A and B are shown apart, each in its own frame.
Chain A
Amino acid sequence: MQQQTGIQTNPVAALGRSTISFVNSLGDIFLFFLEGVRLIFSSPKQLTKIIRQMYFIGSKSLFVISLIGIFTGMVLGLQGYYTLVKFGSEGLLGAAVSLTLIRELGPVLTAIMITGRAGSSMAAEIGVMRISDQIDALDVMDINPMAYLVSPRIAASILCFPLLTALFDVIGILGGYLTGVTMLGINSGVYFYRIDTSVVMADVAGGFVKALVFGIIVSTISCYQGFNTHKRTDSVGPESVSNSTTAAVVLSCVLTLVSDYVITSFLL
């Protein structure tokens, strides 16, 4: 059928199809998350695993988060300056940069960077373990694979995302200082005064909530995709691992942005 080939090749239709199957499995993912969270507290031995994952998700992301943070802040400073100067209010640059970062860009860009760095590797690593019987081996040894593989990653993400977001915000504000004050000559005191007067606790709390939610979304989706690699209908073997990884990254990013909109509309 003509229509059939169209469906298979058309990226929009493909996106539609994967969205439908995603909505179908949304409940499944939620139960997966609940089970993962329950098992965080199943044994004191989880603590070492959580710390190891925090090292991987958190510490090893510090450099890339700092790098993205400084450039995001610098470009915000640049763009903000040339926009504000048209209205003669370039003194407001500090407020513009810090509010944009704290409310919006900090949590979102951090989540997307960590998805690329840690989410993809969660999906791939767990996926490889699934197709090479390693997860079955855990099961047979009476080691709950959810508790062993998934819970530490969810817990570490919940702890790391807000911290990394805070780092991103601070470095981004310094990046804005770099362009706004050092290069374009805004008064340094004015820059920080504007931050101090315009940022309120609600902004920080809102960003924190977002980071928390994104951490849950990214880790749950990535682990879920890897864990269910063997149930994929589109592929088997190594290809199914690569498809799980792709699905993890795409779904994490899409859901991050969708939930960002939802949370923002509640917060404003």
Chain B
Amino acid sequence: MSTTTWDIELHNLSGGYNQTRILKGINGSLPAGKISVILGGSGCGKSTLLRHILGLNRPMEGSIRIGGHDFFTLDKSQFRKIRRRMGVLFQDGALLGSLTLGENVGLPLAEHTKLPKETIRKIVLHKLGLVGLAEYIDYYPNELSGGMRKRAGLARAIVMDPQILLCDEPTSGLDPINAAEMDQLLLSMKKHFPSMSIIVVSHDLESLNHIADNVLVINKGQAAYCGDLEGLQNSDDPYLKQLLSRQPNNIEQPAVSLGADIQAELSNWLR
């Protein structure tokens, strides 16, 4: 395939699950060789967009072009060829529970190559070393903390040296130190693999400022912003300003007040 650059372009992309439309006409581009952050509130469809880019869900309308190819009109072998160049860190790792970390990270190598076991183990040790987990190679996913599972998922995502690395909320649920380490890791990935496109789904503003070259903001199923980080920071759009300054929406007071008798009964129980 004559793919030279691995830009991802979204044209009027609509999609979701079964009959539920969650993405409503997203336009935007995620350029190759950069860290692009997909930003948006919880439940706005970030993971759903990722599933479309991965080819796990088909778009209802519109298209996704990867390296100039319309991803969903490719024949099966070309589709698989592109997909083999993608590495994914799912939201909670999605490591196979019945395999050790080493077996998990080495799985694509074991399945797709004829490399001998010792070689695979060496590659796995190298990749686990990149995420600081080399000594945990024989642990099972359930024996690790959430942050370690995410890092192991990252090691598995990069084991086949992908052109496109997609990470779903790599810092969510991590303490600030672990989160900062994850940001460092992503930046070091960018340094290690200069031609790799890194796409990070996040709602973490701090890591956005650390790592993003490029940002795609999703609001109400549409792209509220697509461009570089400075442009986002200097934007006049009220929604973007609210998002970046972490201002809450006005949450309305509950319309119905609890009666005194119910309140009394409740405090009776809570005594």
Asked whether B54 lies within 8 Å of A140 as measured between CB atoms, the reply is yes
Asked whether A134 lies within 8 Å of B107 as measured between CB atoms, the reply is no
Does chain A have a CB within 8 A of B56? yes
Given contacts A140-B86, A142-B80, A143-B108, contact A132 B92 (CB under 8 A): yes
CB-defined interface of A141-161 with B at 8 Å, one 1/0 digit per residue?
111000010000000000000
Q: Which residues of B contact A137 (CB under 8 A)?
A: 88, 90, 94-96
Cβ-Cβ contact count across A and B, 8 Å cutoff: 48
Given contacts A141-B108, A141-B111, contact A134 B96 (CB under 8 A): yes
CB-nearest residue of chain B to A148: B111
Does chain B have a CB within 8 A of A86? no
Q: Which residues of A contact B110 (CB under 8 A)?
A: 45
Q: Give min CB distance, A43 to chain B, whole Å.
A: 8
Q: Which residues of B contact A125 (CB under 8 A)?
A: 98
Candidates A45, A128, A136, A148; contact of B90 at CB < 8 Å: A136
Asked whether A133 lies within 8 Å of B94 as measured between CB atoms, the reply is yes
Distance between Cα atoms of A132 and B94 in the complex (Å):
6
Candidates A45, A134, A148; contact of B94 at CB < 8 Å: A134
Q: Give min CB distance, B156 to chain A, whole Å.
A: 8
Does chain B have a CB within 8 A of A129? yes
Asked whether A143 lies within 8 Å of B92 as measured between CB atoms, the reply is no
Which bucket holds chain B's interface residue count? Answer: 20 to 34
Interface of A is mostly: helix
Candidates B56, B80, B112; contact of A136 at CB < 8 Å: B56
Q: Which residues of B contact A139 (CB under 8 A)?
A: 56
Q: Give min CB distance, A214 to chain B, whole Å.
A: 26
Asked whether A143 lies within 8 Å of B107 as measured between CB atoms, the reply is yes
Does chain A have a CB within 8 A of B97? yes
Question: Which of chain B's residues 228-263 have a Cβ closer than 8 Å to chain A?
Answer: none
Asked whether A142 lies within 8 Å of B112 as measured between CB atoms, the reply is yes
Distance between Cα atoms of A92 and B83 in the complex (Å):
67
Does chain A have a CB within 8 A of B91? yes
Question: Which of chain B's residues 104-129 have a Cβ closer than 8 Å to chain A?
Answer: 107-108, 110-112
Q: Give min CB distance, B185 to chain A, whole Å.
A: 19
Q: Which residues of B contact A143 (CB under 8 A)?
A: 107-108, 111-112
CB-nearest residue of chain B to A48: B110
Q: Which residues of B contact A (CB under 8 A)?
A: 51, 54, 56, 80, 83-84, 86, 88, 90-92, 94-98, 107-108, 110-112, 160
